[in-house]
């Protein structure tokens, strides 16, 4: 499975992605809002879990690769996450530090959002993050979400929740199509 955007290819991760993904998940600056920075075992387990998700669910976090070079610069995809006590479909994203602030997370998240509404029965997609994670919140807003809540938890202190419904997505696409015509 491959999702193609203007500048990116999103594809299933393999064990061969370890080095590239380690540069992302083991970076303490990138992971400052996560409960921990990843070590080698956690990165290997991350890849294994996503490979399992592809087989079981048909989706997971996908490798985000530059279309021009094939270089993996992060991950983005759909996973099932526990959000305020309920399992919900969540779009997550991590982009390597030197590739941030170039719109890659937004571009990848939009592709995952569109794939989700075109290929799953989910009527809402979510992104959630620690309340201090402004870059992640900005990405959620940029792909069409709005903040729908926040809650206290042990890990993040306060977690912000963003969401977009299928109806909002449909209306947005309809509006974009009409404005082009």
Distance CA 42, CA 94 (A): 15
| Whether the Cβ atoms of residue 76 and residue 68 lie closer than 8 Å to each other | no
State pLDDT tens for residues 118-149.
Answer: 999 999 999 999 999 999 999 999 999 999 99
Query: What is the pLDDT confidence band of residue 43, given thresholds at 50, 70 and 90?
Result: very high
Cβ count near 140 (within 10 Å): 28
The confidence score (pLDDT) of residue 166 equals 97
The burial class, CB within 10 Å (0-12 / 13-18 / 19+), for 154 is: exposed
Q: What's the angle, vertex CA 86, arms to CA 55 and CA 166, rounded to 5? A: 75
**Structure pTM?**
0.93
The confidence score (pLDDT) of residue 84 equals 95
The confidence score (pLDDT) of residue 177 equals 57
* pLDDT at residue 108 greater than cutoff 80: yes
What DSSP line would sit under 89-132, residue for residue?
EEEEEEE-GGGTTSSHHHHHHHHHHHHHHHHS--SEEEEEEETT
State mean pLDDT over 72-90.
97
State pLDDT tens for residues 1-37.
Answer: 899 999 999 999 999 999 999 999 998 888 888 888 8
Q: Where are the domains of the chain?
A: 2-180
- How are beta strands 61-66 and 72-83 bridged, if at all? antiparallel
Distance CA 57, CA 52 (A): 8
| Whether the Cβ atoms of residue 84 and residue 149 lie closer than 8 Å to each other | yes
The confidence score (pLDDT) of residue 79 equals 98
| Whether the Cβ atoms of residue 23 and residue 6 lie closer than 8 Å to each other | no
Q: Does 3.40.630.30 match the CATH number of domain 2-180?
A: yes
């Amino acid at each position: 499975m491959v999702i193609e955007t203007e500048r990116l290819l999103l594809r299933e991760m393999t064990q061969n992605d370890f080095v590239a993904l380690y540069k992302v998940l083991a970076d303490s600056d990138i992971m400052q809002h996560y409960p921990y920075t990843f070590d080698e075992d956690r990165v290997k387990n991350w890849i294994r879990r996503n490979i399992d998700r592809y087989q079981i669910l048909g989706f997971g976090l996908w490798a985000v690769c530059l279309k021009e070079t094939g270089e993996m610069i992060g991950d983005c995809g759909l996973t099932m996450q526990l959000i305020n006590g309920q399992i919900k479909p969540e779009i997550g994203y991590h982009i390597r530090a030197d590739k941030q602030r170039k719109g890659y997370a937004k571009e990848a998240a939009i592709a995952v959002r569109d794939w989700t509404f075109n290929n799953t029965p989910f009527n809402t997609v979510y992104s959630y993050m620690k309340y201090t994670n402004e870059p992640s919140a900005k990405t959620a807003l940029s792909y069409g979400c709005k903040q729908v809540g926040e809650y206290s938890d042990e890990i993040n202190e306060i977690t912000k929740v963003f969401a977009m419904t299928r109806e909002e997505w449909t209306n947005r696409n309809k509006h974009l199509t009409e404005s082009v015509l």
